[in-house]
Each structure stands twice: as C-alpha cells, then as structure tokens.
Amino acid sequence: MSFYLTTPIYYVNSTPHIGHAYTTIAADILVRHRRQRGEETFFLTGTDEHGSNIPRVAAEAGLDLQEFVDRNAAAFQEMTVRVNASNDFFVRTTDDRHKAVVQEFLQRIYDRGDIFEGVYAGLYCTRCEAFYTEDELVDGLCPLHGIRPEHVEEKNYFFRLSAYQEPLLRLYDERPDIVLPRFRYNEARSFIELGLDDISVSRASQRWGVPVPWDESQVVYVWVDALVNYWSALAFARPGEDLRPRFWPVVHHLLGKDILKFHCVIWPALLLGAGLEVPKQLFVHGYLLMDERKMSKSVGNVIDPLDLIDVYGVDPVRFYLFRVATFGQDGSISLEGLHERYERELGNELGNLLSRTTAMIARYRQGELRPEPVSEELTAELARAQDEVAVRLDEFDVTGALELVWELVRRLNRRVEQAAPWELAKDEARAGELDQVLHELADGLRAVAVALAAFVPSTSERILAALGQPADLAWAGVAAGRTVAATGIVPAEPLFPRVDAPTAAA
C-alpha cells in the first residue's frame, strides 16, 4: 500500500501561527502511523509564495521580493522542523521547477480546449485571493477578512469550470468518501449542485507569479499556481526520479474549511481538464479558536507555536491540539487548557505510570524485567486497540484514535492501583504474582508507547528506552507479550517535568 499526504501550502505574507502548525502536525501523525504499518508514504508540505499582496507587504517591510519570501518561507520551514514533522519534501512555489510544471499543467488544459479569453470585472479580496459578488459581501466588506475588496477589471484567461458540473457530480456519486467528514462532502456537493461559473485563471495587472505560457503578459492565478504544487513536487522532489506514477493515484489532501471550494470543487475540475486523475481523498478540518474566534493574524489573537514548544516541549503541544478539539470540528484552545492537560494527563497519567513502573522494577527486581505470560484481559484490549486505532486513523479521526490509546493508559493506571504491587512486595510467597504484575505493566506501557509513537514520537522513544526495549515502532508491536527481557532498568526521569503555570499576561 502507498499513501501520499499533503498539507495546504502556507502563505508567506507573514510568519506561522499555531493554526498552521495544526494541519502540519495532523498530517505528520497520519503519515507516521502509515509508516508504522509498513506502507510506502510520501508527506508533502510547503509555502505558497505568489500572493497578490506579497509585493506590497514586502515593500512595506523594506525588502526585496525574493528576500522577503525567502525569509518567511524559512520561518515555515523552521516551524515544520520544530513540530517534529517528518515531511519528505518542502515545496516552494517560487522554485523554478515548480513554475515549469505549472506552465505545463495550464498548457495541457489550454490544449484540451477548456481555457478561453474573456474580460473579468469584479470585486477581489487580496487576502482570500478570490472574487466576490456584491451579495456575498457583508456591509461591502469581505465576509472572511472584513476588508474592502478591490474593483478589478481586466482581460483574463478563464477556465470552463461550468462544463465540469456533471463530471463532478458523477465523481461525487461514485465516490461517497472522496471528501471527509460527511458533512463537508455534502457542503462541497451542494456547491456543485448550485451551478458553477467559469473562473479566471490569470492576472493581467500583476508581474509576481508564473507567466502564462502562451501569453507572458499575464501571470497564472495564485490559487491555480498553488494547487498544482501537489502534483509538481512529485516531479522534482527526488532528483532524477519522477514520483508521480507511484504516488499520484494515492494522493490525500488535508485542508481547513476555509479552502474547501478550491480543493473539493476547483482542483478536481482542473485535474479533469488537464486529463489527470483526481485526488483519492480530501479531509477538511475545522478551526482552532481563541476566545471563540478563529485564530488569525488579522484578528491579532494568534499563538506562536514555537513559544509553546519552548515552554512545554513539542510532544505536549502535539498531544494537546488533538485532545482538546475533535479533528474535523472547530475547537477552542487556551494556555490554561494546555497547562492543565500537561499536568493531569501527560504528567500524572502517563508520566507517573512510567515512573512508578520503572521504580518498582528497579526496587523490587533489581532492575530486571523478565517475560511472563500476559493476562487474557490485557491481551484482548491491546488486540482491539491495534485494530480500532488503525481504523480511526484511516478515517482521519486523529482525536478518536488518541482517545482509544489514552483509555489504555488509564486502564494500566487502574491495574497498578488494583494490584498494589507494593503490598505484594511485602510477601515473599507472592513473588510470582509480583513478577507478573510488573511484567504486565511494562508490556502494556511498551505497547502504549508504540501506539502513541505517531502522536508523541520522542516520548515514545523515551518510554521504550526506559524499559530497556528496542526502538521498534512496527504496528504489530501494539500487541501483548512482545516485551523482551531487560536488565539495568532504573527509575525513569520524569517524562513531563513541572512547568510554571501560565500567567494572565502570557
């Protein structure tokens, strides 16, 4: 099996906030999990650099255009590294190799007959990079950004999107899981049912962008340029190798709900127009909210992911985002919420479980862990988790999958309380029972570490190391009885050391 997953490519008009980190982390969790199952994967992220407001923003910053986008693209690359994303490539739309594929792509549609010349007059929001009709505006302002759209009138090239209503409806009928969650499928389908207008795919008044191949006085519309990244990057990510035959049929896109129409309607139509295969699946997620509002630079309520990572470490941030909000729905985040889950769930539930288990093995068994039979109950629970976590992740239900693993953590904590190993240790006659409990805790914790590896990769590594277990993350390890004999186990350092609570000013 092969699996190709993309994040949207991020605009470089400013630096990343946690809403961007969110999609990248979700993608990373999904891809790491597939790798654990032995699938061949490709994980792409990157930056969208030809925004029509880039020349203005760069000028305001007093920087040359290329220097400006290089600087912000570097900030997104740093974010990708700091959230511990295991992407295979980082694509930039200012890369000449990408630009060449964009030209080729547009030329294909042109040659097949679905691009024509026309005049566009309309209201354009430079933040959405999209046209609006008068009725769509709210008090004359963009409904998403609250800014006044610009009146644009120019000769453009148009893509005959209207001709794709029928083919798209057929596609949606044939593939009811093409868009997830289901309510987003319905939303996309109703856009198509309402009827589709042709869209302008070039700009006459701009220079910053990819020249239209048959008319270099125009540049390609930034959304077309950006969408093509998913296809172009495979052509040059591995010099000398074209990955498209291997990964294009299995392409999956993650995206936020604000860009549903571009991805679920326009993108498949453009691909059909170019005679290419449409994506296998698209998953649309919700927003992270702060104080009930979408976190965004324009509202000014953003959190810098790097600040949180500096204080808590990367794994707690990865963990929190998918505990607090159901992936697919909107969810409110807060510094207090992160702190609280850090202490209660990561510190008290997972961290203490490892501390206690290793401390008891060190104290009662001189650091020696010996394989013992595992109870039927734990065996059955791990077998169930192994199947069900995989099923949820196949449906992009990152939150549901994490909840299932967390139930195992809680179960192991209950086992410690019920078995009270410290009581067993007082009675020589119960030594066999104690061996069994200690082994069962270690085995359960080892399986949990494997199950958690996609979510909190460094924590999993530390748990396995503390238990003297090999760093084998194969999904088959989420099963009972895979613990190997180990010696020299010492009380583990706290996985999640104390952190000061956030102050009101933070």
Active site amino acids: 17, 20, 125, 128, 142, 145, 294, 297
Q: Show the binding pattern over residues 316-355: x = contacts ligand MSP (CB under 6 A), - = does not.
A: ----------------------------------------
Q: Which uninterrupted H or E stretch holds 290?
A: strand 288-290
In the block, tokens 């020696």 appear at 368
**If you search the block for the tokens 């769509």, which residue do you land on?**
136
288 near ligand MSP, rule: CB under 6 A? yes
285 touches 327 (CB < 8 A): yes
Nearest CB to ligand MSP, comparing residues 125 and 255: 255
Nearer to ligand MSP, 120 or 283 (CB): 283
Nearest residue to 93 (alpha-carbon basis) of 76, 110, 107: 76
Q: Which of 3, 10, 158, 322 binds ligand MSP (CB under 6 A)?
A: 10
Binding mask 21-40 for ligand MSP (x = CB under 6 A): -xx-----------------
Which residues, including other chains, have CB under 8 Å from residue 332's CB and lie 6 or more apart? 288, 289, 290, 291, 292, 324, 325
Looking at the Cβ atoms of 7 and 84, the one nearer to ligand MSP is 7
Instruction: Map the footprint of ligand MSP across residues 256-285, applying CB under 6 A.
Output: 256, 258-259
- 496 near ligand MSP, rule: CB under 6 A: no
Closest to ligand MSP by CB, 294 vs 439, is 294
We find the least distance from the C-beta atom of residue 69 to ligand MSP, in angstroms, to be 13
Considering the complex, state which of residue 9 and residue 437 has its C-beta at the smaller distance from ligand MSP: 9
- Based on CB atoms, which residue is closest to ligand MSP, 46 or 444? 46
In sequence order, what are the residues at sequence separation of 6 or more whose Cβ sits closer than 8 angstroms to the Cβ of residue 443?
A: 374, 378, 480, 481, 482, 483
Does residue 9 bind ligand MSP (CB under 6 A)? yes
Query: Binding ligand MSP by CB under 6 A: which of 296, 386, 436, 460?
Result: 296
What's the token pair of residue 209? 């962008």
Q: Which of residues 218-237 bind ligand MSP (CB under 6 A)?
A: 226-227
Query: Cα separation of 99 and 232, whole Å?
Result: 9
Of 58-66, 102-110, 292-300, 489-497, the segment contacting ligand MSP by CB under 6 A is 292-300
The distance of Cα 91 from the centroid of its chain, to the nearest Å, equals 16
- What torsion do the CA atoms of 16, 21, 27, 29 make, to the nearest 10 degrees? 150
Q: How far is CA 195 from the centre of its chain?
A: 31
Among 68, 124, 158, 287, binds ligand MSP (CB under 6 A): 287
The maximal CA–CA distance of the chain, rounded, in angstroms, is: 90
* Distance between CA atoms of residues 491 and 489, nearest Å: 7
Length of the chain: 506
Give Cα 476 distance to the centre of its chain: 24
**Residue in 276, 301, 275, 273 with CA at minimum distance from that of residue 287:** 301
Q: Please choose, out of 252-260, 365-373, 377-385, 472-480, the segment that lies near ligand MSP by the rule CB under 6 A.
A: 252-260
Least gap, CB of 390 to ligand MSP (angstroms): 25
Element (H, E) at 231: helix 229-236
Residue 496 CB, nearest distance to ligand MSP (Å)? 25
Which residue's C-beta sits nearest to ligand MSP?
Answer: 256
Number of residues lying near ligand MSP (CB under 6 A): 20
Q: How far apart are CA 242 and CA 151, in angstroms?
A: 42
In the complex, the smallest distance separating the C-beta of residue 102 from ligand MSP, rounded to whole angstroms, is: 12
Site string for ligand MSP, 437-466 (x = CB under 6 A): ------------------------------
| Residue that is written with structure tokens 């930056």 in the block | 47
Q: Which residue has the tokens 């604000």?
A: 258
Are 294 and 276 spatial neighbours (Cβ–Cβ below 8 Å)? no
CB of 131 to ligand MSP, least distance (A): 16
For residue 284, give Cα distances in angstroms to 48, 230, 334, 475. Answer: 19, 16, 23, 26
Q: Distance (Å, rounded) from C-alpha 381 to C-alpha 386?
A: 9
Tell which one of 34, 35, 92, 294 touches ligand MSP (CB under 6 A): 294
Q: Which stretch binds ligand MSP (CB under 6 A): 18-26, 200-208, 319-327, 407-415?
A: 18-26
Residue with tokens 């893509």: 159
Among the candidate windows 16-24, 139-147, 393-401, 486-494, which touches ligand MSP by CB under 6 A?
16-24
C-alpha to C-alpha distance for 243 and 42, rounded to whole angstroms: 9
Which CB sits closer to ligand MSP, 294 or 318?
Answer: 294
Sites for ligand MSP among residues 44-83 (CB under 6 A) = 48
Binding positions for ligand MSP, rule: CB under 6 A:
8-11, 19-20, 22-23, 48, 226-227, 255-256, 258-259, 287-288, 294-296
